Structure 1
Amino acid sequence: MEETFPFHFTLKDYIFSLFGLLSSLLDIGLDVWTVVSFYQDGAHVYMGVMIFLLLFSSVLVQVFSWRWYSDSLDKLQTHVEKYVNKHNLLKAFHAMQLGVYLRYAGLVEISTRRFRQPDCFQEGVAVNLNHDLYMLRLIEAFSENAPQLTLMMSIIAMRQELQLFTALKTLAAVAAIALSVVTYHRSMREFLPDKRKMTWTRSVVYYLWNLLVIAPRVTALALFTSVFPCYIIAHFLSVWMVLVLVVWSQKTDFMEDPRWEWLFRATVGLIWYFSWFNVGSKNTKLKSIIYYTVLGLDTMALLGFWWWKMEHACILLLRPYIMIITLASLYVLGIILRIIYYKVFHPNCDIEKIDELNEPVMTTRAAACINLVETDSAKEVSPETPTPTQPVTGAQKRMRTMAANFYL
């Protein structure tokens, strides 16, 4: 079997991760500006909703980060993470909502060391750190950015005017969702035997069909919220609870500790409220067909209630029938583009290939690298030396699970 380390962390990946960090910091600045602007305008309800979304998403992401750290404290490889853990500051960092930035610090450290002195083991650690960051950003996108986008668009619809801070926050939310979707898609290329198959063309098409499906959904939610602001909470809770039960029936196995699997399932239910995210390994085509059919019907129902309210109130500025036809057309176009993507562009990688990348090659090569790093002797483990297969845990388990669901 090929001896090279299967995962590669390039300079492009590093730059993309730093761009994600900068965009996250910029998003925080826009969040603060938006909250202050709501306060100055006397829009205390909007300000409260905005603060709630920020706190909820941040706590959710930090809990995931803390649990992932807690499951692999003996496998920390960066000096900054080891220092924080040694002084029992890991919980404090996450309580102060700094856990994600600790991960970025670890990624910067291990990447700098890897680029200055190439090392296969450090490269694998960088890939693991990067994948966890991509996953956390995906969770943040649908727990913070998507609800914020709904809020901003509903405010624009109600006020019939576009303020600077609402426009910028809307654009920032769209950019954050786009970045998380594309980076998650790109991270899956590590499981392809030929990584050149995961071209930017594939990523662009993948992003476009997601955009065309998510945009009508968010717009429908925003329009419904603009005329029935009190009922959107009831709608979310009723739909979300059903979605969580569906996820529960999939018997997911993502978290290391089964007691925390409920958190992952609840989070997937939240993501499903806006977009499809495959977490099962059987009948995925049938499940996605049912999902998009139900989601489309629910979206049209929301638009129908909005149209009825607009006509009842004699508010015809947005021409409801044109809006509904446009959104329905975009949704159908997104579904068609999704079918084309999976027929033409989606790379094929069976579960056996993924297992090969996670177990035999990684175990043998990583063991050799660990011996080279941790001992002063120049003795290298022979590739032919059989090593016992270790169970896949931690970041490798999460990567394998997501890849298996992505390529099925």
Structure 2
Amino acid sequence: MTSTGGDFTKVRWLCTIIGLIFYLGDIGSDLLLTVQYFRAGHLTWAALTLVFILSGSLCVQIFSYVWFKDDKRDGKEDNLPTGHLIGIHVLQIGIITRYFSLLKKSFKALWFNQVQSRLFDLATDLSMLRLFETFLESVPQLVLQLYIILEHNHRSTLQYISMAVSFLNIAWSTVDYRRCLRRSLPHVNEMPCGIPTVVYLLYKVFTITPRILSLTLFIMLSTFSTIAMAFIWFLGTFWAYLEKTDFCTSRVLEYIYRATVGVILIFTFFNIKGENSQVPMTMYYIFSVSENLAAPILLFLFKPESEGTDYLLPIILFILISNSLGLGFLGLYYSLLHPHKVSDEIDGMERDEQTKETTRLNNFLQI
């Protein structure tokens, strides 16, 4: 998988800037919200908001540092000295360093015709890191802020800004990863722009959003619901273990990767090893939709005071409609709009010669 400056278009360069803006806006708004909660005396909310920021950032910095080291070892990149690498990742700016490096190199390639190698590889690494950050930070933040608003009736403009930016970040990073994935694997067709991309985005948005709402309702029903969420995380992590993922170069990092995959699977489906996904996807969404629909029903039955609120009925209707739309767009995308390729291998069969080169994407989440 070798990219040149010609593979990296000006549109892609602008998309990289947009992704950086969303990333900074998401982290910045959450940090401001943490300060607001702290100054108002809501120490628990401030602590939880900060924990999600730090957990997502820490995971991203770990993988970013290891990938820098792997690329340096393989001679793919003339990286910074080890001391500098450690410093920027300890300061939690590894992903920002990657953004500025990619923007600088691609700018020279696009506007000054300077030869730059591996631009799309660098963009793909960023898309994977952003996917981690999204499901470890942005999505849990949405659940937390929704819980605070619905359960404690605490609202502020900054909360809504933070939630809006988190939502945009989820939509952007999910589709950006999908497009980078299709672009970077030589044995599959690229994901077309236009209707296929929009339908894929709608499928993800309309399946992730009711998950966020239903999990929020479960926490409102009882904070002990977090134990059930931890069990769901364990099942996702255990599935990754059973699939014997081999994404990382060390055993310890592979365990961290599997645990991260478990978090992602709480909110949306990804095929862990790029093999036949029809059965696990069907089982996943049967369970997910059943759980989504059960949340408002259980809240209504075991917390009768919720019946008099102004949010319960709209949420029930939204979950019903959103689940239906999400599954509808899922079926539409994979039946009519998925960029199949005649030379693609059948799921589970050995890939042909052109994909034997080992890359991070070959072993990463494949759907």
Is the pair's TM-score, using the shorter chain for normalization, greater than 0.5? yes
Q: Distance in 2 between matches of 1:208 and 1:160?
A: 29
Match of 1:214 among 191, 208, 212: 208
Residue 107 of structure 1 and its aligned partner are, at CA, apart by 0.8
Q: Secondary structure at the match of 2:248?
A: coil
Q: Secondary structure at the match of 1:256?
A: coil
Q: Which residue of 2 aligns with 1:344?
A: 336
Number of residue pairs matched by the alignment: 360
Q: Which residue of 2 aligns with 1:43?
A: 42
Superposition pairs of residues 6-405 of structure 1, within 5 angstroms: 8-75=7-74, 82=79, 84-85=80-81, 88-118=83-113, 122-123=116-117, 125-160=118-153, 162-190=155-183, 191=185, 198-228=192-222, 230-311=223-304, 313=305, 315-318=307-310, 320-321=312-313, 323-349=315-341, 350-351=344-345, 358=355, 392-393=357-358, 397-402=359-364, 405=366
When the two chains are superposed, the root-mean-square deviation of aligned CA atoms in Å is 2.7
Asked whether the 8 Å contact 2:26–2:165 carries over to 1, the reply is: yes
CA-to-aligned-CA distance 1:259-283 (integer Å, 9 cap, x gap): 4222211111100000111113333
Residue 117 of structure 1 and its aligned partner are, at CA, apart by 4.8
Q: Percent identity?
A: 26
Q: Secondary structure at the match of 2:247?
A: coil
Q: Which residue of 2 aligns with 1:381?
A: none
Q: Which residue of 2 aligns with 1:365?
A: none
Change over 3 Å in CA distance of 1:138–1:194 after alignment to 2: closer
Residue 132 of structure 1 and its aligned partner are, at CA, apart by 0.4
Q: Secondary structure at the match of 1:71?
A: helix
Residue 239 of structure 1 and its aligned partner are, at CA, apart by 1.2
What letter matches 1:92 in structure 2? G
CA-to-aligned-CA distance 1:333-365 (integer Å, 9 cap, x gap): 211210111011110131499856556xxxxxx
Asked whether the 8 Å contact 2:127–2:173 carries over to 1, the reply is: yes
Change over 3 Å in CA distance of 1:7–1:271 after alignment to 2: farther
Unpaired runs of 5+ residues, structure 2, are none
Q: Secondary structure at the match of 1:244?
A: helix
**Higher mean displacement: 59-68 or 277-286:** 277-286
What letter matches 2:36 in structure 1? S
**TM-score normalised by L of structure 1:** 0.80
What letter matches 1:172 in structure 2? V
Residue 252 of structure 1 and its aligned partner are, at CA, apart by 1.6
Q: Distance in 2 between matches of 1:197 and 1:22?
A: 24
Unpaired runs of 5+ residues, structure 1, are 360-391
**TM-score normalised by L of structure 2:** 0.89
Q: Distance in 1 between matches of 2:282 and 2:271?
A: 12
Q: Which residue of 2 aligns with 1:371?
A: none
Change over 3 Å in CA distance of 1:239–1:197 after alignment to 2: closer
